[in-house]
Chains A and B, each alone.
Chain A
Amino acid sequence: MSTDFTHPSHPSRPDWLWHLGVVAALALWWMLYHQLAPLAEWITGLLPVERHSHTGEAIAFFLYDVPKVMMLLTLIVFVMGVVRSFFSPEKTRALLSGKREGVGNIFSAGLGILTPFCSCSAVPLFIGFVSAGVPLGVTFSFLIAAPMVNEVALVLLFGLVGWQVAATYLAFGLLIAIIAGFVIGKLHLEGWLQDWVRDIHSGASAPTQIEGDGMTMIERYRAGIEAVREIFGKVWLWILLGIAMGALIHGYVPEDFMVKIMGAEAWWSVPAAVLMGIPMYTNAAGVIPIVEALLGKGAALGTVLAFMMSVIALSLPEMIILKQVLTYRLIAVFIGIVGSGILAVGFLFNLIF
């Protein structure tokens, strides 16, 4: 997660012990993960409830889903934490600064997934990119992909809804980031940046810095563990609440409740979902349990995906942060283009599935 410009060595345990520990933990994870279903059944069996009653179903669902999602999240966040220690905003910027539009947008969206990013550093990152000569459209591809396509969203979609939906989300999230960035680049809106940003753009040279290449493998493991600790601190409550809600809804809300409002028949449901998503601001963990519940009750996949993308990628608070560097006109263009992309995905999905 971090870049340090000096490399003092860590006083640490021998390296082989760390490698051994990581391998052992992975093996343990694998064994435990494959025992989750029987384990959940066994515990439910011990409880004084009828297994096939509403309550029994709900408890079995809860006992299986919670550990499953938590375990998947731990593994993926750890792996991503280690992978991300090889990337840094500085390195990504260096990779992108020579790129032309088109190829640059594809690269940029891909790097958006791999580079550590937090929305509180969106502004310094934006300026850092633009001042180093990364084209505006390429910078936007990065800024759209980084929050939208992230490992927490993908793991939760995979664990709660299925791998097909997760893969689709990944593919179309990237596609929107690439195309929207490309279009913004083609419009040549550099003049619509705030004045002071343009001045940095033309004047100050980008500072050259030493990269965090000096990290040892052990430090990368530590980065992974740190990422798990941090993400869990943020999302565990959301996941528990979401799955608990899902478990209840599975039994008590009529199956076709949402079909009329959010089904594929109602064409206006997609734009409505996008509009509803803009003022909402939550992370992927908060929105996905809702997504799962909506899907389970007959809402159309395209409508639900559009809602989710809109909540994550087009949030009002983020616009307020970006206002420091972009003019209102540029923000409006940004919302228009990304919003159209999300609409297209929503309609396309409702048509196909």
Chain B
Amino acid sequence: MADLCAVVGVGQTKHASCRADVSIAGLVREAVDRALADANIGIDDVDAIVIGKAPDPLEGVAMPELWLADALAAHGKPVFRVHTAGSVGGSTAIVAAQHVMAGIHGTVLTVGFEKQSDGNAMWALSVPIPFGMPVHAGAGGYFSPIVRGYIKRSGAPSHIGAMVAVKDRTNACKNPYAHLHEPDWTLEKALESPMMWDPIRFVETCPSSDGAMALVIMSEERADKHAGPKAWVHATAMRSEPTAFAGREQVSPRAGEMCAEDLWRKGGITNPAKEIDVAEIYVPFAWFEPMWLENLGFAPRNEGWRWVEDGVTDIGGSLPINPSGGVMSTNPIGASGMLRFGEAAMQVMGKAGEHQIDGARKAVGHAYGGGSQFFAMWLVSSSKP
């Protein structure tokens, strides 16, 4: 059996469309310094470092794990780099946790980052490939037909995406680190937002952000002696599947369902919607909130959109989703998954400030990446299992 571990420190940057005031190394260090300060430890107390980011063409820097080793004070320590596309922030945190759970290291620092203003993500995600017709148009062009499939199969009304967008943008105003602070959105105004990748409106897309998130994870032995709140890791799960295969269920990928089933089983959760207090899930396009509610097993199939419409996922609802404002308000791709994992930890540590869900004891962090093919999830709690 794996050992227990806990998050004892969380630190993130102020996210923005362009952090021209720092280099990539400076961006990463900002999050790392805040996580170490939050954990009340120094870099010398860290045994190993696990770093993750999305594809290297986003900034044009190959092997940033080598380049950033000095900024991470990794002299004489193991450094690992993880990559699973957009889910990388989640899988990186899981790799870090597993180093501790395996009993190999007592204190692991993990960080996810992206400095999208240094490159062009639309270009990096639309590189011509030998087998394709160059009609793809970035991530939105890829995911919009899948959203269309969800709308057709579920019978969801067309305003659901806009409702999610308004909720997340409103939530982000309670999060000082969020990239977008746009308090004036209303559903009426959101519905007038132009169609970018029909059926996806401009307001229903995530921004492109510079940012980083870092976590300090400790073994049970060390965490027990550590003062301050902790987020105990009750379960982690990862699954993947190929991007394209005949008959693939694209709207609700089987790998996502399997990942969630594994998470609930390991975490002893039999009724997710009832037992989970808050979830930070990876929603880069607003329609993915109802889609993932179903994929995760929170809502019945084709019913996720009704939960959105009924306010279930609002901060005051019975299952608040993305009280931080989520990916819809902040998307430094390589950090976005770790932001979900870290925000979930902050909720059960009682450190979420204005977007704190009162009495949150069990929270889920979720990330997905590639063509909805990599899934990473964790379940954290204010108390040990």
Do the two chains bind? no
